[in-house]
Copies of this chain bind each other. A is one copy, B any other.
Amino acid sequence: MNPHLFENGWHPTAILGAMGAAAAAAKLFKLPGEKVCMALGIAGSLASGLRQNFGTMTKPLHAGRAAQNGVMAAQLARRGYTADPGIVEAKLGYANAFSGPGKYDLNKITANLGSPFDIVSPGVGLKRYPSCARTHPGIDAMLDLVEQNDLRPGDVESVACAGTYTTPTMLIHSRPRTALEGKFSMEFCLALALTERKVSLPDFRDQKVQDPKIQELIRKVTFSIRPDLNTIEHSGNPSTTVKVTLKDGREFTKTVDEARGTPNNPLTAEEVRGKYRQCVKGIQPQKEMEKTIELVGDLENLKKISTLADLLRGAQSR
């Protein structure tokens, strides 16, 4: 369905996620095949989420709703609720409505399905930075350039970034005003990497985005489409090149094909733990934080999932 789905303005996490969640919940409920179809049929009518809301609070809502919609669809199907059993491929159904008439490939849905599951290979990506994944290879490149060449923001004349043609359609906030918009801004993320030499959650604040020094750097960043990544076949390739030109004329260039945190370039276990600590700092007390890390690290041996759930909702400390 992609990139048509995406180009039509839909947020894939929301639209595809509802179906994924419905399938997973239907599996957990051990529903028979016909009820799995009903669950997908219901989920198809619940799935929603517009990309225009990227950079607002509604964007993360899409992910939660996708999960909720899928679970609700499976719960309804379990109780005998009905929907069209061929919702994906039907004329007035899911794929046509979201991607456009015929702009999808049914074969790709079932090709290699479960052999292996994507969660096994290529595996799961874990984001190193709290921003849109499309900013990650650019951030990696900038951090490498800054560190290797000891670049200083004040010495920079311009930053030229180049990648696939779909990246600017995802990173819609080239002139961000809020932290949420900054998450969808290659310009802000590169300015932040150059200034702070790291890209971490505490810096995604409105104040930081509005900082005059950051705003000045944002205006120095341009994005262009790399000639080798201007076709639909390469639309999903996030390979990104960053070229920093200093005021003294020197140029530094770096290309990152696979960002840190992607399956082929995974984070270390300690980096994952570090990210968790960063995310819950000030929300979860230190002791519960470390206990959570311990339980998740040995999840397959956890006897009751409620032990983890209680910990996460702070039930023990109330």
A residues with a Cβ closer than 8 A to B are 8-11, 14, 41-42, 44-58, 61-62, 65, 81-84, 87, 90-94, 96-97, 172, 180
Contacts and interface: CB of A to CB of B under 8 A. Distances in A.
14 contacts: A8-B96, A11-B45, A41-B53, A41-B58, A44-B52, A44-B53, A45-B48, A45-B49, A45-B50, A50-B93, A52-B92, A56-B82, A82-B180, A92-B172
Contacts of A57: 81-83
Contact of A52 (B54, B62, B84): B84
A9 B97 contact: yes
Contacts of A8: 96-97
A73 to B, nearest CB: 9
A93 B54 CA distance: 11
A18 to B, nearest CB: 9
A231 to B, nearest CB: 21
A119 to B, nearest CB: 26
A94 B8 CA distance: 10
A89 to B, nearest CB: 10
Nearest to A90: B52
A148 to B, nearest CB: 37
Contacts of A92: 9, 50-52, 54, 172
A67 to B, nearest CB: 14
Contacts of A14: 45
A50 B9 contact: no
A87 B94 CA distance: 22
A83 B61 CA distance: 10
Contacts of A52: 41, 44, 84, 87, 90-94
A14 B97 CA distance: 14
B97 A10 contact: yes
A51 to B, nearest CB: 4
* From A11, A53, A61, residue with most partner B Cβ within 10 Å: A53
Contacts of A65: 46
Contacts of A84: 50, 52-53, 55-56, 58
Nearest to A48: B48
A131 to B, nearest CB: 17
A21 to B, nearest CB: 14
Max count, chain B CB within 10 A of own CB: residue among A46, A92, A94: A92
A96 B41 contact: no
Contacts of A56: 41, 82-84
A11 B92 CA distance: 10
A91 B53 CA distance: 11
The 9 A-B pairs with the shortest beta carbon distances in the complex, nearest first, are: A48-B48, A9-B97, A52-B92, A58-B83, A52-B93, A9-B92, A51-B92, A56-B82, A57-B82
